[in-house]
Structures are given as C-alpha cells and as structure tokens.
A and B are shown apart, each in its own frame.
Chain A
C-alpha cells in the first residue's frame, strides 16, 4: 500500500446523505474478478444524469469527495472503494461513515476522514461558490483545509498509522503467527470443522 501523508486536490460537493454502496457501484459491475478498472462503474446510475456533479467541470477532475452523513452504507462490497480510487479519489469527507466502508477504505489507502457536519456544510459552500477550489487533507495533523475553512477530522489511530507507513495488514498479523498457533491449540473440540464434509 502506498504511504499517505497529505493530499491536495479539487473538492467535489455531494450534497446527499445515505450514499449507499449500491449507488457508489451497482451490483452489475460486481461480476468482474479483477481489482482494478472500475472507474467507469463509479456512481454509474447517477452519472447518466448530465446534471450530476461528476459530469460537470471542474468537478470531474476532483479527488476529494465531500459527502453528506452515513456515507458507504449497505453492502460490504470493497468494489466501492476500488471504484472511488480508480476514478481518482484519494479522500472522502463525511460526518458519518458506515463501519464496513470505513474499514475497506483503510485497507486500500483511501482516506475516510470524519468531519463534523457543520464543517462539511462550510466546505460545501466554499466548493459551490468557487468550483475548482482545492481541498487539502493532512493526515499528520488530522486537519482538512478548503478556502478559509480549517477543520479537524477524526480517524482511528491504528488506521492512521498504517496509512502513514503504507503497511500491509496481512504482513503485520503474520508477525504474530506464533500467537495464532498457540490460540488454536486452546480451541474446544466441539467447535465445528467444515472438513471432512458431513451432509444431511
């Protein structure tokens, strides 16, 4: 995973709450077996509407999505994060993220920054009054800057550290393989195994 410390790019105001992962990427695109190439799938249904924000310049070149509360609800599909990244987004700001989406973002190096709704409203105003304004997301100081707005954001310490260091999760866990093996020796015998298969 690439290291993330700070990013500056055009902000995209998405004035909508409950943007679920079915909207971020509809199920029909989930048939693919690759991890990349999902840029065309991002917000596929909404992008058919010429008035949709990503169909307007300069927002189509945006890299920081500024969304309403409860972003990423619904399906666990990590394809939602892949699609945002493939399109060019580096960070999403929202006052509330669904837990699974937030987790998926952290694994993929997409920064999910929790910003108070009052600050989101201020940033929306800046971006709407001056389209093309850049947003800076600084993970070191946990601060977001846009025009004259400077606001703190929340992210859990562990995800922040992993993003800053660009660390691979599985590699980190496998450093503790002895602990895993030791735990396995204590598991009760009645816990089920899928193999050998027992059938009805």
Chain B
C-alpha cells in the first residue's frame, strides 16, 4: 500500500513489530534517533535509572540544555530562587554522572531545546526525535517524526533508546494559495487549531502540505509544527525539500561530504506517495487568511483579528458554550467587542514557537522608527544564546531597545512563567507563545496568542493590531516626536 511520509519514517524505525491483536498485544517498539533533555522533566527519570542500577544506553544520541526554569536577566549570577537553582544543579550533576552533553546557561549553544536541536543540525529529515516536552513536534518541520513524552518515557528512552508506541492515524492539512502581507505561519496554525479544535488531532500525525507550506521557510515551518500539539496531535510534519537542505547544509552536525550526498538521496524519498491515502484531510485557504488571535483560554478559541469577541450563544455544543462563558469571564471580555479595541499591558516576543531570527527580524521591521505605546511593557526573549548573538550582530537588539523593549537572555521565559518572567493577576498580554491557558503566563494573567508582527504592531498601538493598522513608518523616530 502506498505510504504517507509519517508511515515511512515509522516503518524505518521499527525495532520489533508488535504482537498484533489480543489481550496483551504489544505495540511496535521504535528506535529513537535523538533524545533532547532539559531540567524540568528529567530529574525523576535520571533518579529512576540510578535506583534500578541502569545505564543510559546512548549518551551519543542524547543532548541536554537548560531552558524552562532559567532566568533571562543576570545569568552570570547564581539563580536567586533556591528551588530553581537546585533543579538546574541537578541537571548538571546528572549529565556529568551519565555522560550527557549539556549546554548550560552562559554557553553559546544554550537555549530553548527546540531551537537548539535544529540550530546545531542535529534535527534531520526522517529521524525519530523525542523530548520530555510537548512542543517536540517542532522538529517535524524537517520531516522528522517528533513527539513529546512524559517523564516515565524519558526514563524508558534513556534506558533502551526505544519507545513502545501505539499506531497513529494520518491527517493531511492542505494549505493552498499565497499568504497576504502581514499574514504568517502563526496565523496558519492558529486557524487550523480553531478549525479542528484542541482535540481534533488526537491520535493523529498531521502532515502540512500544499503550496502555501512549500513556500514557507524552515523557521516558519517550525512555528506550524510546534503547535500541532495544541490541536491534540501526536506529531506534525512537513516533507523535506530543497528549503530543508539549504537550511541544514553546513550546520555543525549536518552530514558532510559523501555522507551528505547519501543522506540527501535518502531524504528525497521522504514524501507521501501520490496515491497514499490519509485518514482525514483538512483544507485551508491561504489566500483569504487574515491575522489570527485567540480570545479565550485554549488555543482553539481564536478568530480573525478583524472580527469581534464571540458570544457563547455562537456555539451549538453545550460544552463549548460553557467553556466560552467561562473563558470570557476569565479573560474579562464582553461578547461583541471588536478584537482590535482590546487594550493590552504586555507584549511577549519569544518561546519555541516564535523566537528565531526570522521572528525577531519580522518584529523589528515593524517597530523600526516607530514609538512604543508608553503603557506597554515589551519583553523580547531570543530562543537561544546563538540567536541572541546573531540578532545583536544585525543590530536588532538596538532596534528593540530604542523602541523601549527589554532585551533578555535566552529561555522559555514568559511562555510558561516558571522563572520570574510572569504576568500579574489581571494583566493582559499579546504573546507569540503557544498556550493561552488560565494562569499559564502567571496567576490570573490573560493571554492572547498572536504572530510576531501582530505582537509588534500591538506594542506600537497599545491595542491588538495588525501591521496594516499602523500609520506609514516615519523616516525616523525624531520626526514622529517633532510631529507630536
């Protein structure tokens, strides 16, 4: 039978076929090519290995970094929060004991685990990639089968370099057409999630296809695959192509010489066959897509930025209606309010969804020569120390600082508010991150998920805004001040 891309990658990693049907039917045992580790979901797994007297099977297929629980200020000083400091120190001790490569705070390769892997060239087409983090789906942008796992599975991979995995179903997300200016990958994925719902992808591996996806850069594809989990999917991927190879070529861990040629030959086979069938197909029109924004407390509660806050009455399903009522109350919003009239307090540019060079460049292009709304606090947190260095080499840090934004060190930061970067109760945030759950960015905080350019435009106007809402950029900030 003609296979889809995900099925091909799966089949290439079967160590042991499952025992088929029956009461104790065992699922397929799959080999894991790359295991990414960070401080939050690993300590209990390392401890499990120690207690059982087990070794870590493949340190050479494992890499660790510090990201979730690290400060983005004063990184040269000891971490102030004692529990956080202990957790980081525990990762350092564990990596030392088990021989795992670690990029610590202060290291040029430190950063959000899903930014670091691709940046080093460790994420490659056709691989299986896992991490104790749900946004591992990011790596699917390379045509890898990449899945978030829990701590028990982290321990399982450490001990065996394999995972027993239940079979999946396949879903094609076909995005055809051309994005309009000001519309980006983030808007595509927010629209997909709004369409299929937070549970729509449960049990599925999504493959993003179509002319609009092919036209996207690798970093944009990562943004889309990153949020597959917000639709409940097991994974999301894009078939590799020349864009993928161009991104990878020359990266530290990309194959070299004859191995590069052998790899490309294999990678070229990694596409769904023309006559392969998907269990479900979903279509999205890129031509008509507008900037998207969430209004509620799950990533499926999103609308076009040009529309209004929906009413619970708009939802037929009783559960959805109740969820909408609760969300509006939590978010402090009135049904019918134009989204663009919603005033925000904070803008967060960062997270594994949108903290790469292109994201920073896109936001910088919007704010360059413009003035920040004085009431807005804006945090810019590069995805990795390497991204921060590259951005500084291009002068982007100066653009952000001149605008009045805070230029921070790399990490997960305000996406999940484990470190001191948090919202105050009631504070409203336009965030380029991936989750608008209650309290996600700080207890009582209110999150609207947006793209980097919408975040930037919002920082200028103070209300949720798209770049097209801005006055033409003045020649320089000084002109603007004189005019005012």
A103 close to B263 (CB less than 8 A): no
Task: Report if A30-B266 is in contact (Cβ < 8 Å); known contacts: A161-B24, A169-B152.
Answer: no
- Which residue of chain A lies nearest to B63 when distances are taken between CB atoms in the complex? A194
Residues of A within 8 A of B (CB-CB), count = 67
| A157 partner residues in chain B, CB cutoff 8 A | 21-25
Which segment of B143-151, B346-354, B369-377, B476-484 sits at the interface?
A: B143-151
Shortest CB–CB separation between residue B114 and chain A, in angstroms? 13
Q: Does A50 contact B (CB under 8 A)?
A: no
Partner of A192, one of B34, B230, B323, B386: B34
- Chain B 45-66 near chain A by CB (<8 Å), digits 1 or 0: 0010000101001011111000
| A188 partner residues in chain B, CB cutoff 8 A | 262-263, 266
- Which residue of chain A lies nearest to B266 when distances are taken between CB atoms in the complex? A188
CA distance A161 to B59 in the complex (A): 32
B62 close to A32 (CB less than 8 A): no
Task: Report if A23-B438 is in contact (Cβ < 8 Å); known contacts: A33-B90, A183-B15, A189-B259.
Answer: yes
- Chain B 284-312 near chain A by CB (<8 Å), digits 1 or 0: 00000000000001100000000000000
Interface residues in B35-85 (C-beta closer than 8 Å to A): 40-41, 43-44, 47, 52, 54, 57, 59-63, 68-69, 81, 83-84
| A173 partner residues in chain B, CB cutoff 8 A | 29, 156, 159-160, 162, 164
CA distance A18 to B41 in the complex (A): 22
Residues of B within 8 A of A (CB-CB), count = 95
- Chain A 167-200 near chain B by CB (<8 Å), digits 1 or 0: 0011011101101100110011111111101111
- Chain A 12-28 near chain B by CB (<8 Å), digits 1 or 0: 00011110101100111
CA distance A111 to B259 in the complex (A): 47
B437 close to A107 (CB less than 8 A): no
Task: Report if A194-B323 is in contact (Cβ < 8 Å); known contacts: A27-B418, A107-B150.
Answer: no
Task: Report if A170-B232 is in contact (Cβ < 8 Å); known contacts: A73-B198, A103-B149.
Answer: no
A100 close to B150 (CB less than 8 A): yes
Q: Does A74 contact B (CB under 8 A)?
A: yes
A100 close to B148 (CB less than 8 A): yes
Partner of B155, one of A16, A45, A170: A170
A16 close to B156 (CB less than 8 A): no
CA distance A97 to B198 in the complex (A): 11
| B326 partner residues in chain A, CB cutoff 8 A | 16
| A34 partner residues in chain B, CB cutoff 8 A | 44
A96 close to B199 (CB less than 8 A): yes
| B81 partner residues in chain A, CB cutoff 8 A | 31
- Which residue of chain B lies nearest to A46 when distances are taken between CB atoms in the complex? B438
Task: Report if A190-B164 is in contact (Cβ < 8 Å); known contacts: A17-B322, A70-B232, A158-B24.
Answer: no
CA distance A161 to B156 in the complex (A): 18
Q: Does A98 contact B (CB under 8 A)?
A: yes
Task: Report if A179-B16 is in contact (Cβ < 8 Å); known contacts: A22-B439, A157-B25.
Answer: yes
Q: Does B33 contact A (CB under 8 A)?
A: yes
- Which residue of chain B lies nearest to A80 when distances are taken between CB atoms in the complex? B150
Q: Does B202 contact A (CB under 8 A)?
A: yes
| B251 partner residues in chain A, CB cutoff 8 A | 200
13 A-B contact pairs sorted by A residue (CB < 8 Å): A17-B319, A35-B44, A73-B198, A75-B435, A78-B152, A96-B202, A99-B203, A99-B232, A107-B153, A170-B160, A172-B164, A173-B29, A173-B160
Given contacts A20-B435, A76-B148, 11 further A-B contacts (CB under 8 A): A16-B322, A27-B440, A33-B87, A161-B23, A169-B156, A180-B162, A187-B31, A189-B259, A190-B260, A192-B124, A194-B101
A interface vs B, CB < 8 Å?
15-18, 20, 22-23, 26-28, 30-35, 45, 68-70, 73-79, 81, 96-100, 103-104, 107-108, 117, 156-158, 160-161, 169-170, 172-174, 176-177, 179-180, 183-184, 187-195, 197-200
B interface vs A, CB < 8 Å?
15-16, 21-27, 29, 31, 33-34, 40-41, 43-44, 47, 52, 54, 57, 59-63, 68-69, 81, 83-84, 86-87, 90, 101, 108-109, 119-122, 124, 127, 132-134, 148-153, 155-156, 159-162, 164, 166, 198-199, 202-203, 229-230, 232, 234, 251-255, 259-260, 262-263, 266, 297-298, 319-320, 322-323, 326, 386, 416-418, 435, 437-440, 443
